[in-house]
Amino acid sequence: MGRFRLIDWMDNAPAPARASAVPALVRSYVHGDLTPEAREMMEAALTLIADDPSPDVRRALAEALSIHETAPRHLIVALSQDLPAIAEPIFRRSPCLIDSELTAAVALGTPSIVKAVASRPWISFEVADAIAAEGDREAVLAMLANPGADLDGEAFAAIADRLGADGEIREALFARRDLPLAVRQSLISALGEKLGRFLVGRAWIAPKRAGVVLREACDKATVFLAGSAEEAELSALVEHLRSTGQLTTALLIRSMCEGHIRFLEAALARLSGLPATRVYALLMDGRAGALRALFTRAGLPERSHAAFLAALEVWRELDYDGREGDKPRFGRRMVERILTRYQEFAPGEVDDLLAMLRRLAAESARTAAREILESRREGRSRAA
């Protein structure tokens, strides 16, 4: 079809025929071996299509051009400013758009446009921050499900603050392997508070009892998270806990009862202002007097020093035995010996730390029993 006949045909053909012809025209423009004159005429024809009165034809053009990096710039801009249904393919996948255009679309576009941006094959940190700060739940869900979205800690924290109460958002956040531990912990803490209000509101548990149970459950989850943290993440988690008032003596004692010396090291380094290497050396080999000085400098109450000293003595003595059920058995031995030593340091003293250690001992015994039985069940299943 000659160049003028093509334009005449586009002027007179019905809209469905014009729309069906668009993909072939775009392929010819992008991949065809065209003379400069022919390419100029083909670009003029595509420009006319961008002004076609039929939305279906313009949508077909947007779909066809959106996958090509060499698409004419003026057409991409024109289509991105068209009706949302026409602009969506451009925002969803056109490589011709730059971050400033994408962030502007997030700020000014319709929800469908923002969701399209969130679904792009790759999203930069800048664009992800914009969606985290301003996108609605559908756009945020699309971004969280997108493996090509680069999210930093600020983006995750913004989503958690704005939409963390939404169960589906929360699940999508937890499913991200790059979710920072500090944000993960904040979600767990917020969920615990929500559960506590629900239980107290239904009169299923007394308010003070709910506070103790849920705080200890949150502490247990926090210690579990800390156990798998890299050094940088562990420092960030400690700072988050400190700034939110969750870096408590009870949490640190629990961490020691479970053998997480790295968490105690990071916490004491942050609270005391001493280098982590110095703190670790004291925890490994320091005498009682030097350790008490460290605890005092970190702001730990004097009445808790005996519990930490007992925990460190036991931690230095114990090791994994290498047998089946080793880890839960180690935890149980650890907390039981700490409880015994603490009672020796403070004979007859009845306080909240002693009560907490007794609860931890009972909890570790149940955990060890469950894990050993589960391990044996799995062994029988494999043998069968």
149: β partners: 123
pLDDT of residue 264: 92
pLDDT of residue 378: 65
265 residue type, one letter: E
CB 208: neighbour CB atoms within 10 A? 9
pLDDT of residue 149: 95
End-to-end CA distance of the chain: 73
Q: Give the H or E element holding residue 293.
A: helix 288-297
Q: Which residues contact 379 (CB under 8 A, 6 or more apart)?
A: 324
CA gap 241, 105 in Å, rounded: 36
- The string over 39-71, giving b where at least 16 C-beta atoms fall within 10 Å of a residue's C-beta and e elsewhere, is eebbeebbeebbebeeebbbbbbbbbbbebeeb
Does the model's pTM come out above 0.95?
no
Angle at which helix 207-227 crosses helix 231-243, to 10 degrees, equals 160
CA gap 66, 60 in Å, rounded: 10
pLDDT of residue 368: 67
pLDDT of residue 327: 60
173, 156 contact by CB (below 8 A): yes
123: β partners: 149
Q: How far is CA 153 from CA 96, 132, 166, in A?
A: 28, 11, 19
The single residue listed with the structure tokens 């990096």 is 69
pLDDT of residue 330: 66
71 residue type, one letter: A
Torsion of CA 221, 226, 230, 235, to 10 degrees: 120
213, 221 contact by CB (below 8 A): no
Q: Coil, strand or helix: which one is 367?
A: helix
CA gap 378, 304 in Å, rounded: 41
pLDDT of residue 322: 43
Largest CA distance in the chain: 102
* Cα-Cα-Cα-Cα dihedral sign, residues 324, 330, 331, 337: positive
pLDDT in tens, the chain (384 residues): 445 566 667 777 888 888 998 888 898 888 878 778 888 888 888 998 999 999 999 999 999 999 999 899 999 999 999 999 999 999 999 999 999 999 999 999 999 999 999 999 999 999 999 999 999 999 999 999 999 999 999 999 999 999 998 989 999 999 998 999 889 988 888 777 776 666 667 666 777 766 666 777 788 888 888 887 888 888 889 999 999 888 988 889 888 877 788 899 999 999 999 999 999 999 988 899 999 999 999 999 888 888 888 888 878 876 644 454 456 566 677 777 777 776 665 555 446 677 777 777 777 777 766 776 676 666 666 665
Q: Coil, strand or helix: which one is 52?
A: coil
The single residue listed with the structure tokens 């993909």 is 23
236, 182 contact by CB (below 8 A): yes
The token pair at 315 is 């931690």
